[in-house]
Amino acid sequence: MRHIILTTLIFLLSLAKSVSQVENDPFYSLEDIIGDQPESTGNEVDCTPILDDLQYFKENPLNLNSATFSDLNEIHFLNDVQINNLLAYINSNGQLLSVFELQYISCFSNDVINKILPYITVQPVKEQEKIPWAKAIKSGRNQFYLKSKRVLEKQKGYEPVNDAMLSQNNSHYLGSPYQCYFRWMYNYKSFISAGIISEKDAGEEFFKGSEKQGFDYYSAHFILHGSGIIKTLVIGDFDVQFGQGLTLWTGFSAGGNTSGLLNSLRNPQYFTAHTNSDENRFMRGAGVTISSGSYDFSFFLSDNRMDANVLPADSTNSGKLTVSSFPTSGNHTTMHEIAGKNAVKARTAGAHLDYVSEHLKIGISGIYYGFNAIVEPGSAPYDKFSLSGSSDYRAGFDYRLRYDKFTIYGEEAFDKHNSVAMMNSAVFETMPQLLFCIQQRKIDRGFHGLYASLPGEGSAISSENGVYLGLELYPARNWKILAGFDSYRFPWLKYGVDAPSFESTFSILLSYLPSREFTLSLGIKNDVKSGNIITEHNPSVVLADSKKQNFRFNVSSHLSPDLSLIYRIEQVNFSRTSSLEHGFLALQDIRYSLEKIPVCISFRYAIFDSDSYDSGLNACEDDLLYEFSSCSLSGKGNRIYLVVRYEQSKKICLWLKFTQTYYDRNTLNTGLNFINGPAKSEIKVMLRIIM
């Protein structure tokens, strides 16, 4: 008995320590949810929706005893197996008495418990609340965000130009190099939320020229989560998530296959506010989810505008607008980009019916969209099956079945031209120490991912057949292994790949976690990709495999609640035909919370050296709240950044980030972003006010 008390006490103490550690570290474990996103290389990933959820739960911890599957899903750290085990545990053993019970639930490792602790609580279940409207308007919470950033060096596009050049389409940026962002958000608990977002990207005009209305982009939304028959009502700009995303899924979706091993199961939230800064792919209109018993019915209408690459008027199309593609950058910085701004009107309607029971969830969904323009992709062979015409519809069937320690899920969808997309998965929880999953996917050529989020490695326009195997293994105390193998075929051509091709990815991550504060890990990734080889002697197209091996050794140590140090060494070997290129990265992170003043600091010093772009390296970075950047480094040089968070009070918080990348050469970038010097520096500031 004494022994048990002692162990509990030790556990309690260590838990308390880790809680404070998490709270002091605003960046903790975000990388786990988002993963290394190779496709977002060099960009900032706007993960506002995820952080909105986490921040809400931090202030209003989720009561595990009353949480539903979708509530738990919003914490983002738990996979399907863990959520179901938790629900099953509560079902059979009654309500949890304390958070310490979590460690008795299968698949809840200390690591996972640590991550979710700041966002959960365990309390007896209370009666469900009704929305007190009068109170809601008075006691709701208002948040304001102001953000700005700019590159400090002079870039070519911002140099003054003469009148002759002014009329040229792409010779210069029209606006200033400052990016400006404003967001107002209102919420009353989780019942009501509303918001306005406006943004001006770097290089866009502000209150002049083509942007007389001020900001380049405005967005607003209102969402109501009721407890009665109307489960969700949304008006304004919103994202839609149905099924597994093959028919309809806009906005952010975490992780790809290779990052989130067992997290490929998506738990749709039907409608969410459109809060990230994607200026094109979202719905503008209204949507409603009606809930009755085990059935959820969702329906929406949208009338939105999208940027497009407009083709010159053609006599054959009787004056109807013709476009070649829809760019997604949201930048309107040059004459050419402004010409395509909001050029196409897209009308969209969609519906979804879900049946949910304890073990089974099935749904059907459909979407129709039409443009006031005709889409005519380029004539290159790889574009033969690209999005074309002026309207399309898709319908899909999705399912999730859980029986004992076995889960299957997936979605099958087809479109107007009877092209099919399929994704089917099975997760086996054989023992608490071993989980594995199999996923199959098949996307026909001609199936388009507009407003959908297709599984797989390729971009939304390419057809792909693939199989993914994933494994999560706890071979011994303190050891963890994640492994995945993904092999896929592209039956049609892609840009730069002029024949059907076969590719594969293998990854393994071995971690040693001797204590809560210390992790040592070794990751190995092997990518085989295909590409054209063009030689003078042989003008016909030959494909050759390129192989990229990546070795990453990472040590992360939380020396005290206030101080964390992370060390990483990474090596890349890239080979194609007979050439072999190398890349190398070494970095040191320091995260420190000051004692006397409410300031957190995150600092990085990194040194990199790669022979080419292909052997370049990616490193995720700490950033301002709501941003998560992955920096792509190639060439020789070093990179430093410093993020400072100053929390003056619960109400006012200020973030500042300075980055500088120094290269061992005299000029950087090409075109409008050309810099005459060896370094690129950027400064970002953000202010949050809560009322």
Partner 1 sequence: MGQMNMRKFYWFVLILVIHDFHVFAVGDNYPVGARQAGMANAAVMLSDLWSISHNQAGLVSLDKLTIGFFHENKFIVSKYAYQALVIAVPVHSGVLGASVSYFGYSSYNEIKAGLAYGKSFGKILSAGLQLDYCNTYVTGEYGNRGALVVEAGLQSQPIENLLIGVHVFNPLRAKIAVYDENIPTILRMGVAYRFSDKVILAVENEKDMLMKPVFKTGIEYHIYKNFFIRTGVMTNPTQLCFGIGYIMNDFQFDMAVSNHPELGITPHFSLSYHL
Round to whole Å and give the CA distance between 145 and 55: 14
Report which of 463, 460, 453 is spatially closest to residue 242, judged by C-alpha positions.
453
Query: What is the SS3 assignment for 110?
Result: helix
Minimum gap (Å) between residue 438 Cβ and partner 1: 37
CB 609 within 8 Å of CB 583: yes
CB 655 within 8 Å of CB 625: yes
Minimum gap (Å) between residue 660 Cβ and partner 1: 11
Q: Indicate the residue among 505 and 519 with the shorter CB distance to partner 1.
A: 519
Minimum gap (Å) between residue 422 Cβ and partner 1: 45
Minimum gap (Å) between residue 562 Cβ and partner 1: 10
CB 555 within 8 Å of CB 567: yes
Q: Indicate the residue among 473 and 607 with the shorter CB distance to partner 1.
A: 607
Round to whole Å and give the CA distance between 222 and 274: 10
Q: Indicate the residue among 199 and 609 with the shorter CB distance to partner 1.
A: 609
Minimum gap (Å) between residue 638 Cβ and partner 1: 6
Neighbours of 190 (CB within 10 A): 15
Q: Indicate the residue among 461 and 585 with the shorter CB distance to partner 1.
A: 585
Q: Indicate the residue among 346 and 633 with the shorter CB distance to partner 1.
A: 633
Q: Based on the number of CB atoms within 10 Å of its own CB, is 457 exposed (0-12), middle (13-18) or buried (19 or more)? A: buried
Round to whole Å and give the CA distance between 43 and 486: 25
Q: Indicate the residue among 146 and 563 with the shorter CB distance to partner 1.
A: 563
Report which of 612, 609, 613 is spatially closest to residue 664, judged by C-alpha positions.
609
Question: Tokens 């029209």 correspond to what residue?
Answer: 174
Query: What is the SS3 assignment for 592?
Result: strand
Q: Indicate the residue among 489 and 516 with the shorter CB distance to partner 1.
A: 516
Q: Indicate the residue among 389 and 514 with the shorter CB distance to partner 1.
A: 514
Minimum gap (Å) between residue 664 Cβ and partner 1: 6
Token readout for 612 is: 């080419």
Minimum gap (Å) between residue 571 Cβ and partner 1: 8
Minimum gap (Å) between residue 662 Cβ and partner 1: 7
Q: Indicate the residue among 149 and 604 with the shorter CB distance to partner 1.
A: 604
Round to whole Å and give the CA distance between 691 and 683: 27
Minimum gap (Å) between residue 561 Cβ and partner 1: 12
Q: Indicate the residue among 426 and 565 with the shorter CB distance to partner 1.
A: 565
Minimum gap (Å) between residue 275 Cβ and partner 1: 38
Query: What is the SS3 assignment for 164?
Result: helix
DSSP string, 418-467: --EEEEEEEEEEEETTEEEEEEEEEE-TT---TT----SSS-TTS-EEEE
Round to whole Å and give the CA distance between 412 and 245: 10
CB 486 within 8 Å of CB 508: no
CB 639 within 8 Å of CB 585: no
Minimum gap (Å) between residue 663 Cβ and partner 1: 10
Q: Indicate the residue among 472 and 622 with the shorter CB distance to partner 1.
A: 622
Query: What is the SS3 assignment for 57?
Result: helix
Minimum gap (Å) between residue 476 Cβ and partner 1: 17
CA distances from 517 to 12, 113, 474, 562, 568 (A): 15, 14, 19, 12, 16
Token readout for 505 is: 């990815």
Report which of 404, 403, 400, 446 is spatially closest to residue 423, judged by C-alpha positions.
400
Round to whole Å and give the CA distance between 410 and 265: 8
Instruction: Tell me how far apart the terminal alpha carbons of the chain are, to the nearest angstrom.
Output: 50
Round to whole Å and give the CA distance between 201 and 220: 18
Q: Indicate the residue among 354 and 609 with the shorter CB distance to partner 1.
A: 609
**Sites of contact with partner 1 (CB under 8 A):** 514-515, 517-518, 555, 557-560, 563, 565, 567, 569, 571, 582, 584, 586, 588, 590, 605, 607, 609, 636-638, 662, 664
